A = this chain, B = another copy of it.
Amino acid sequence: MAAAYSPSHALRLSKVEKWDGETDVIVVGFGVSGACAAIEARQAGAAVTIFEVASASGGSSALSGGEFYLGGGTWVQKENGFEDDAEQVREYLTMSGGPGVDRERVNLYAANTVSHFQWLQDQGIPFKGTYLGGKQIEPMTDDTLIWSGSEAAFPFTTVAKPAPRGHAAQMMGMGAGKLVMEKLTEKALSLGVEAHFSTRVLALIADDDNAVHGIVVRIDGEPKMYRAKKGVVLCAGGFICNEEMLKRFAPEAMDVFANPTTGGNDDGSGIRMGMSVGGAVTHMAEFFATKPSFPPDNLVKGIFVNERGQRFINEDSYHGRVTKYIMRQPNGKAWLLMDNAIFERPLFRPNVEIAAVGETWAELEAELGIAEGELQHTVEAYNRYAEAGSDPIQHKDAKWMQPLTEAPFAALSYCAEDYPATGFTLGGLVTTTSGEVLDAQGAAIGGLYAAGRTACGLPRWGEGYSSGMSLGDSSFYGRQAGIAVAKAAAR
């Protein structure tokens, strides 16, 4: 009776009467982390079986922009004249990780980012090698290199020398994650990885010590016992699709639940399976969110204010960082102020609500219901900073500053009710850099690994996120999990 199984409830090994199948390594989920784990484990000689709940590989990765956060002096960076090194990557990612940064994970990643880029190409993922300037979300061309984070923005500029690090796969238009997943899938299958689609993993199978020996998986409607002699790698995504889990673990992410960034199967089952054998979770309340404030570039020259008329962020920050700041303003209210000289509409929100228009800032202030004098003061001070080319309040780069003096003036609404954000969860299982799932004490759980958004990885702080961090982390740490599980002794 399939209904008796639950991801939150491991089946005891002693209850397994016979195995319906066995392999060395079971990978749960065929997104980017699962694909990379499978490739590495297979190349190390292990027999590998992937179970994917969807009818094809891809997961949420296939819906992404196909961008990897890489640097440290890749050939693309060099060819386009950008200097970078592992230390700069490390410092940037350390700040990006926030107060709970996993330094060990950051350090290993930063030290290996050039070779990881090579590995991705070796799997058949094409990168054109060209650079696309400006403030982008992802290339709408087939270019490779973009500024995909807050590298050139305060406070990140205080710890690391800026360099563009978003490396997108070569595909014309948005959504190159599809191509990434096609290539990785091809590679995994060509190596002899066995893949089952439309199969739902129902529960882990664990011994008395919670060491994992296999899974219960529903195949053609029937629960099957599948043994993993070396281990199970959970690569089943995050939990942005699971309303109950969001409410419980990431209540603020409910703001993006109606508009999630997902392939549709981020139901948290991987995380719940890990927890069922004592796996610890961390940063569960953290999530990435965005309602892109750019492109076009001109929007970055505007200023964001809250309902108190205060600025609250340097507007040249990464759009996801700007969004996290917007979301925490009183009553979720924020407006982007523009003058006539720079006025444009957001590319991804052409029908953006114009909350107020006026011939003077005083008019706008009144229309927005901001206390008298507050907005006027903010604009007056900003214009002074723009003239001087230095922003002592929010430290916006002078490149994006010009006085907002040409009437009419407008306020674009980024308020919660007018412009919903999209996003995904960042919390997940605690793992070592080899992907071993840890309990709350820090001890590894036998036979259990996790990667991608099932684990809490490099991206673990919404306001520190940069595009490409999730795909970069998932591919690299998927690989590490695959390497580690292949080395484990068969049981």
Residues of A within 8 A of B (CB): 6-10, 12, 14-15, 98-101, 208-210, 244-245, 247-249, 251-252, 254, 268, 271-272, 275-278, 280-285, 308-310, 371, 373-374, 377, 381, 392-394, 430, 439-443
Which among A8, A371, A381 has the highest number of chain B CB atoms within 10 Å?
Answer: A8
Q: Which residues of B contact A393 (CB under 8 A)?
A: 308-309, 371, 374
Report which of B14, B268, B441 forms a contact with A8, defined as CB distance below 8 A.
Answer: B441
A280 neighbours in B (Cβ, 8 Å): 8, 248-249, 275
* A440 surroundings in chain B (CB, below 8 A): 7-8, 245, 268, 271-272, 275-276
A278, B394: Cα distance in complex, Å? 45
Which residues of B have CB within 8 Å of A377?
Answer: 377, 381
Q: Which residues of B contact A209 (CB under 8 A)?
A: 9, 12
Q: Across the interface, name the chain B residue whose C-beta is closest to A430.
A: B248
User: Is B208 in contact with A12, judged by CB distance below 8 angstroms?
Assistant: yes
Partner of A381, one of B268, B282, B285, B373: B373
Q: Compute how far the CA of A251 lies from the CA of B286 in the bound complex, rounded to whole angstroms.
A: 12
Complex-state Cα separation, A442 to B272, whole angstroms: 11
Whether A441 and B251, one on each chain, are in contact in the complex, defined by CB atoms closer than 8 angstroms, is no
Checking B244, B251, B441 against A442 with a beta-carbon cut-off of 8 angstroms, the contacting residue is: B244
Residues of B within 8 A of A208 (CB): 12, 14-15, 208
Contacts of A268 on B, CB cut-off 8 Å? Answer: 440
Within the assembled complex, what's the spacing in Å between the Cα atoms of A7 and B440? 9
Q: Are A210 and B247 in contact (CB under 8 A)?
A: no
Residues of B within 8 A of A309 (CB): 393
Q: How far is the CA of A245 from the CA of B439 in the complex (A)?
A: 11
Residues of B contacting A10 in the complex (Cβ-Cβ under 8 angstroms): 210, 278
With both beta carbons as reference points, the residue of chain B lying nearest to A440 in the complex is identified as: B272
Q: How many copies does the complex hold?
A: 2
A251 and B99 contacting across the interface, CB-CB below 8 Å = yes
B281 and A278 contacting across the interface, CB-CB below 8 Å: no
Note all chain B residues with C-beta closer than 8 A to A210. Answer: 9-10
Which residues of the other chain, B, contact A12 by a CB distance below 8 angstroms?
208-209
Closest residue of B by beta carbon distance from A371 = B392
Contact yes or no, A9 B244, CB < 8 A: no
Q: Other than the known A9-B278, A275-B439, what 18 A-B pairs have Cβ atoms closer than 8 Å?
A: A6-B441, A8-B441, A9-B210, A9-B441, A10-B278, A12-B208, A99-B251, A99-B252, A248-B282, A268-B440, A275-B278, A277-B278, A283-B285, A285-B285, A310-B310, A371-B381, A373-B381, A377-B377
Q: How far is the CB of A275 from chain B (nearest CB, A)?
A: 5
CB-CB nearest 9 A-B residue pairs: A100-B251, A8-B441, A371-B392, A99-B251, A12-B208, A8-B439, A272-B440, A275-B440, A276-B278
Minimal Cβ-Cβ distance residue in B for A443: B8
Report the separation of the CA atoms of residues A374 and B394 in the bound assembly, to the nearest whole angstrom: 12
CB atoms of A7 and B251 under 8 A apart: no
- CB–CB A99/B443 < 8 A: no
Distance in Å: Cβ of A432 to nearest Cβ of chain B: 12
- 26 sample A-B contacts, Cβ–Cβ < 8 Å, listed by A number: A6-B439, A7-B440, A8-B280, A8-B439, A8-B443, A9-B210, A9-B278, A9-B441, A9-B443, A10-B278, A12-B208, A15-B208, A99-B252, A99-B254, A100-B248, A100-B252, A208-B208, A248-B430, A271-B440, A275-B280, A275-B439, A281-B281, A283-B285, A308-B393, A309-B393, A373-B381
Give A89 to B245 CA distance when docked, in angstroms. Answer: 27
Bound complex: CA A116 to CA B90 (Å):
54
